[in-house]
Amino acid sequence: MKTLFGKLADGTEIHSWALENGGTRLKVLSWGGIVQSLEIPDRHGRHANVCLGFDAIEDYVARTPYFGALIGRYGNRIGDGRFTLDGEAHQVDVNDGVNSLHGGATGFDRQVWYVEPFTEGSDVGLRLRRTSADKEMGYPGTLAVQVTYTLTEQGDWRIDYEATTDRATVVNLTSHVYWNLAGESGGSVEDHELTIAAARYTPVDAGLIPTGELAEVSGTPFDFRETRTIGRDLRAGHVQQVRAQGYDHNWVLDKGVTAEPVHVATLRDPGSGRTLEIATDQPGLQFYSGNFLDGTLVGTGGRAYRQGDALCLETQHFPDSPNQPAFPSTVLRPGQTYRTTTVHSFGS
């Protein structure tokens, strides 16, 4: 179902689409491809929205920290907003200190997407499309992008990303949903239980740019190979946590790049019984513990979001890969198609 969500200052209409299948309810905006809400049942069959978001387009335009948005052209950070490709230097938009974050100040999260609903067999979904012009936010090449959101008969939320270019470029697309499985107004997620299938992570410098090291998680607060609560070591004082004010790091998934999505993470809220399982073909997972929520944003439930009231699990290639030759490549060339898939499965 399509409804008018609001208008931008220039009069552009922003619409909302509502989907339901397999017990999962999804609302998506044409602004930023944003997931405004995602409702799933608890162990008693009671639905709740488990994603942070706003009721008004004005809040998304003015204040949002990427709530529920599609991220591109390059998810995560690029050091100094610079990289060299085929001997040519490129300067992209700098919007995070001296670095570029999530594609720049007007990345994919701040663009209007063309949205087309579809039904295929027992699945329902939306196809979101836009073309990013050559040099948009400084990135080379005209990039044609399609992102498909599918709700399956089982209630899974699947994201399929595709992109082509007319010039060599770098691409790293992801989704920036803030999860709270107790409900978006449920308060702290420190009691949520998390498992990540990764024996290594990428430590960062003071600007949260990877140093290039692939560090072992063993014996550190970054070891989520066995299930542990978010809050268990959140304040352990590890130098990496001090730099990020919590967790804001890329985990190097044990499976590496795979042809098909493989299960890599499980999140569980013991209070409601809700679970989220993530499968992806990507080599990395950014776990962000909501460190910079400061109580100044009021969400769809009417409550202010404070530090640690949600977390993000962003499937991705590694941050700053264009400047890190040892990291898996994010280069896309003419004649190639960028394809990646992430599947979110819910339970209680």
Q: What is the pLDDT of residues 288-346, one digit of tens each?
A: 999 999 999 999 999 999 999 999 999 999 999 999 999 999 999 999 999 999 999 99
In a domain, 246, yes or no: no
Q: How far apart are CA 189 and CA 179, in angstroms?
A: 9
In a domain, 213, yes or no: no
Q: pLDDT category, 348, cuts 50, 70, 90?
A: very high
In a domain, 274, yes or no: no
Per-residue confidence (pLDDT) for residue 145, from 0 to 100: 98
User: β-strand 82-85 against 88-91: which pairing, if any?
Assistant: antiparallel
Report the C-alpha dihedral over residues 235, 239, 245, 247, rounded to 10 degrees. -80
Q: Give the model confidence (pLDDT) of 204-216 as tens digits.
A: 999 999 999 999 9
In a domain, 197, yes or no: no
In a domain, 67, yes or no: yes
Q: Give the model confidence (pLDDT) of 13-39 as tens digits.
A: 999 999 999 999 999 999 999 999 999
Q: Which domain holds residue 165?
A: 2-188+288-347
Average pLDDT, the chain: 97
Asked whether the beta carbons of 1 and 20 are under 8 A apart, the reply is: no
Judged against a pLDDT cut of 90, whether residue 63 lies above it is answered with: no
Q: Give the model confidence (pLDDT) of 71-97 as tens digits.
A: 999 999 999 999 999 999 999 999 999
Per-residue confidence (pLDDT) for residue 1, from 0 to 100: 87
% residues pLDDT > 90 (the chain): 99
Q: pLDDT category, 157, cuts 50, 70, 90?
A: very high
Q: What is the CATH number of the domain that holds 23?
A: 2.70.98.10
Asked whether the beta carbons of 307 and 294 are under 8 A apart, the reply is: yes
Task: Cite the DSSP H helix spans in the chain.
Answer: 57-62, 239-244
Per-residue confidence (pLDDT) for residue 35, from 0 to 100: 98
Computed on alpha carbons and rounded to an integer, the radius of gyration of the chain in Å comes to 19
Average pLDDT over residues 49-54: 98
Residue at token pair 């909302």: 16
Give the residue numbers annotated as catalytic, written as ranges.
176, 314
Residue at token pair 């008004």: 56
Buried b / exposed e across 280-303, counting CB within 10 Å, b at 16+? Answer: bbbbbbbbbbbbebeeebebbeee
Q: Give the model confidence (pLDDT) of 241-269 as tens digits.
A: 999 999 999 999 999 999 999 999 999 99
The structural domain count of the chain equals 1
In a domain, 267, yes or no: no
In a domain, 222, yes or no: no
In a domain, 131, yes or no: yes
